[in-house]
Amino acid sequence: MLLSLLVLAQLAIPADSVYTSAGLRDLVARAAVSNHAPPPAFRGYRAHVETEMSLLMRDTLGRERAAQIEQVASAVDWRRGLRYQMHVLGYRAQTLGPSISSLSFLSAWTEPSLYGERILLGVQFIADKKKRAARPSHPDPDLIMAIHPFAADRDQYYRFSGGDTVTVMQSPGRAIPIVRIHVTPHLSGATRFAAFNGEIDLDATRQQIVRMRGQFVVLGKRPGGKSLVEKMPGLVAVAYCEFVNAEIGQRYWLPAFQRTELQTSLALLGRDRAVMRIVSRFSEYAVDDTSSTTIAYDDSSHIPRSTTWASSDSVSHFNRWDTSLGAGTTSTKADDFADLQPDAWKSTGATLIEVIPTNWDNVVRYNRVEGLFTGAEVNVRMRSAFPGLIYGGALGWAWTERTAKGAAHASLMRGLDTYAVGVERSLASTNDWVSPGEAKTDGINGMFASFDDFDYVDRRTALATVSHIVGSIDHAMLTVRAGAGNDRPEVARLTSGLIGGGKFRPDRGADQGSYALGEVDADLHPSASEEFVQPGFGARLHYEIGHGDLSWQRAEVGITGREYWGPVALSLRFDGGAVTGSSIPPQTLFELGGSSALPGYGYKQFAGDRAMLFRSYASYTLPVLRGPHRVWRTVFIPGVAPGFGAGFQGGWTQISDASARLSVLRLGTNTDGTPLSVATNGVRATFGFGVTMFSGTFHLGAARPVDRGGRWKLAVGFGPSF
């Protein structure tokens, strides 16, 4: 009787602006009946779930780099009309440094089914922290519920289009035609609800949901007004989701893959996007379907949900992982939802004028050459008015140097190609082998304790650039630049910073002159990096030639990456290069030594026209204390995860001839007339080992040089370098 009434209610809906056709109206009506509740005989299921939670940054090119990855293995038990319980069996993590676990904000991270009148957002954030600390068995009453697109009251909130067959799936015993319906929220009223905006794929035979992909939008205002975060200028935040079901036993469509992704951009952080990604995969289903027993209708979104944990010892010893750490992070991309992104991120629409900096150094920095530098940056994205065209510039003032500096640029994107021109006067760093994820200056660190581990030249350039993405940004990228430049040596105008002790060192020598410049870069897997925690390996080739008052040729090769094998983690980075010329400009030489390249030796103690640097690290995490640890109320940190680690660093430079030796001398000399830098005279290397904590984030051990006799020294710190 209930099903008959529901069918009549659906058919009574008139063909109006809610549906683009009468046929679509009927299809949605049948889907609403089929997805109103699970089949009567379906009592519940148990399954194994592996979830990966990662925190990443996406840059303007689309490269993603993870700062934290946590993996959770769980056993889930859904009892129709009674409960949804998630029991955590295993946990492991990798982070860049001291961090807060994602579990500090989540009470649950999977959706048990896509049946019902309401649906949660895939992850549940607990607003009431006292309830989070007590691990409540019921959802927080402040949780925002999404109106199911197939709910009985859907016409108040949604508009529907599509309904065409997009593919035919083959399963054992039958062919399954898949139809796609596009769902758009129709937001009116002030009720605090969420709504789904995206596409739904249906099993056209049974009208069951196979896949939902889209974003959640909020209808109504938050009680009490916006939070402090929501009031921040330039904030854009979107919650995306993708729920994929699998047909189990040729009878039921149950969760197989679920992904919830929160993407945020903030003007204060530049044009990069912060991404929180939660990816879950279900397996090992055990279905309870007693066909002789039926259960009355229930709304599964209101059943009690709880998350419990196995004992700490059991969680730490869990080793039945189906996927390697990082697989969920690297198999998906933020750009998978590019078709759903908000207007501020789109390449189409009205022209946008943005004051969001592409690099915060254009806004504020502090160093021993310029002192305090302040500036502003403006970019114009033409979007639909001239697709692919972006132009803009930056302008600022160095207060101690009393000099204006800035840049102007224009770029045009056409498919996988980008064409750009630009002119710039900058304080350019002469440091070597700085990866895309590393800072190219010390920002405002120079204010504190007179710390500035960079050397600079005053550089003017005018360049044209062509970039081509090969396949995708994760695969490869080729870049060619051509133009002209002029370098002028700089001097340290400050002797110390504003706060703390210490003194700045002099700026190293450089040759002055103009030159024509050509550069070629080839990057394989540009997102790969040993400095971040996502797995993968990449390579880079660089070649440049300058000709004029200053003439040189320089070639570099780099290999970098990270990988996990169970409790074993390995990271490595190799850089090598050579520079040639009859009178090599000192600013093009290779320099090694100091915290960033060959620690254990003095700052840029070694230099040459030939160089090599190798850095590697391996760690093993013991099967103890891997679970997250509560430090205060609802705040958790990733597991203490003690273990062992070992690191090796080796570097080599060569001064190949008299011309190169004169160039090294022009870098500067000590007060006794000896050169600031010399050749290594063979490979200089250090080896260290010790105990680690927080999956290798912190180390305590000893290190010593291996290229010569030396004593073991205490090595304590964060990161893999002993």
Residue 192 pLDDT? 60
Residue 580 corresponds to which amino acid? T
Residue 257 above 50 pLDDT? yes
Residue 465 above 90 pLDDT? yes
What kind and span of H or E run contains 172? none
CB 26 within 8 A of CB 200: no
How large a percentage of the chain has pLDDT more than 70? 89
Pairwise CA distance, residues 110 & 17, whole Å: 34
Residue 228 pLDDT? 47
How large a percentage of the chain has pLDDT more than 90? 64
42 pLDDT tier (thresholds 50, 70, 90):
confident
If one counts every other C-beta atom within 10 angstroms of the C-beta of residue 212, the result is 23
Pairwise CA distance, residues 645 & 602, whole Å: 24
Q: To which residue do tokens 């029991």 refer? A: 87
Pairwise CA distance, residues 27 & 160, whole Å: 11
Residue 8 pLDDT? 29
Residue 709 pLDDT? 75
Residue 545 corresponds to which amino acid? I
CB 152 within 8 A of CB 184: no
Residue 442 above 90 pLDDT? no
pLDDT digits (tens, 9 = 90+) for 659-676: 999 999 999 999 888 999
Residue 145 pLDDT? 74
Question: What are the residues whose beta carbons fall under 8 Å from the beta carbon of 609, sequence distance 6 or more?
Answer: 578, 579, 580, 584, 589, 590, 654, 655, 656, 657, 660, 663
pLDDT digits (tens, 9 = 90+) for 501-516: 788 999 999 999 999 9
Indicate the average pLDDT of the chain: 87
Residue 224 pLDDT? 52
If one counts every other C-beta atom within 10 angstroms of the C-beta of residue 387, the result is 12
If one counts every other C-beta atom within 10 angstroms of the C-beta of residue 524, the result is 15
Query: Could you give the C-alpha distances from 215 to 135, 218, 314, in angstroms and in order?
Result: 28, 10, 37
65 pLDDT tier (thresholds 50, 70, 90):
very high
CA angle 317, 321, 327 (to 5 degrees): 130
pLDDT digits (tens, 9 = 90+) for 127-146: 544 444 444 444 444 456 78
CA dihedral (392, 394, 395, 401) in degrees, to 10, reads: -150
Question: What are the residues whose beta carbons fall under 8 Å from the beta carbon of 2, sequence distance 6 or more?
Answer: 297
First to last CA, the chain: 73
Residue 408 above 60 pLDDT? yes
pLDDT digits (tens, 9 = 90+) for 320-359: 999 999 999 999 999 999 999 998 899 999 999 998 888 8
291 pLDDT tier (thresholds 50, 70, 90):
low
CA dihedral (436, 440, 445, 446) in degrees, to 10, reads: 170
Pairing of strands 371-381, 389-398: antiparallel
If one counts every other C-beta atom within 10 angstroms of the C-beta of residue 655, the result is 24
Q: To which residue do tokens 């592409």 refer? A: 358
**What single DSSP character describes residue 384?**
G
Say how many residues make up the chain. 722
CB 93 within 8 A of CB 638: yes
Pairwise CA distance, residues 398 & 361, whole Å: 12
Pairwise CA distance, residues 96 & 260, whole Å: 23
- Considering only CA atoms, which of 416, 353, 352 is closest in space to residue 384? 352
State whether the Cα torsion 647-521-556-453 is positive or negative.
negative
pLDDT digits (tens, 9 = 90+) for 93-105: 999 888 899 998 8
Pairwise CA distance, residues 464 & 249, whole Å: 60
**For residue 22, which phi and psi values (nearest 5 degrees)?**
-65, -35
**What single DSSP character describes residue 155?**
G
What kind and span of H or E run contains 312? helix 312-317
The secondary structure of 619-687, three-state, reads EEECCCCCCCEEEECCEEECCCCCEEEEEEEEEEEECCCHHHHHHHHCCCECCCCCECCECCCCCEEEE
Pairwise CA distance, residues 336 & 536, whole Å: 19
Pairwise CA distance, residues 267 & 273, whole Å: 10
Q: To which residue do tokens 């289009």 refer? A: 161
Q: What is the CA radius of gyration of the chain?
A: 29
pLDDT digits (tens, 9 = 90+) for 700-720: 999 888 887 778 888 888 877
Pairwise CA distance, residues 387 & 705, whole Å: 56
- Considering only CA atoms, which of 640, 635, 614, 636 is closest in space to residue 625? 640
CB 467 within 8 A of CB 478: yes
- For residue 544, count CB atoms less than 10 angstroms from its CB and return exposed for 0-12, middle for 13-18, buried for 19 or more: middle
For residue 689, give the 3-state DSSP assignment: strand
Residue 173 pLDDT? 77
Residue 192 corresponds to which amino acid? R
Q: To which residue do tokens 């000590």 refer? A: 670
Pairwise CA distance, residues 274 & 266, whole Å: 9
Residue 230 above 50 pLDDT? yes
- Considering only CA atoms, which of 493, 489, 337 is closest in space to residue 428? 489
Pairwise CA distance, residues 181 & 582, whole Å: 68
Residue 667 pLDDT? 97
- For residue 66, count CB atoms less than 10 angstroms from its CB and return exposed for 0-12, middle for 13-18, buried for 19 or more: buried
Residue 375 above 70 pLDDT? yes
What are the start-end ranges of the E strands in 96-234? 106-108, 118-119, 124-125, 146-147, 158-171, 174-185, 193-203, 208-219
Provide the CA 8 distance to its chain's centre, in angstroms.
49
Residue 292 above 60 pLDDT? no
CB 484 within 8 A of CB 513: no
**DSSP for 486-547, written as a single string:** EEEE-----SS-SBSS--PPPPPP---EEEEEEEEEEEESTT--TTSSS-EEEEEEEEEEEE
Residue 17 pLDDT? 83
Mean per-residue pLDDT, 477-492: 97
219 pLDDT tier (thresholds 50, 70, 90):
low
Q: Name the more confident of 579 and 41.
A: 579
pLDDT digits (tens, 9 = 90+) for 190-204: 556 788 999 999 999
Pairwise CA distance, residues 278 & 551, whole Å: 51
pLDDT digits (tens, 9 = 90+) for 580-600: 999 999 999 999 988 767 877
CA angle 226, 229, 235 (to 5 degrees): 100
Structure tokens at 17: 């602006």
Residue 516 pLDDT? 98
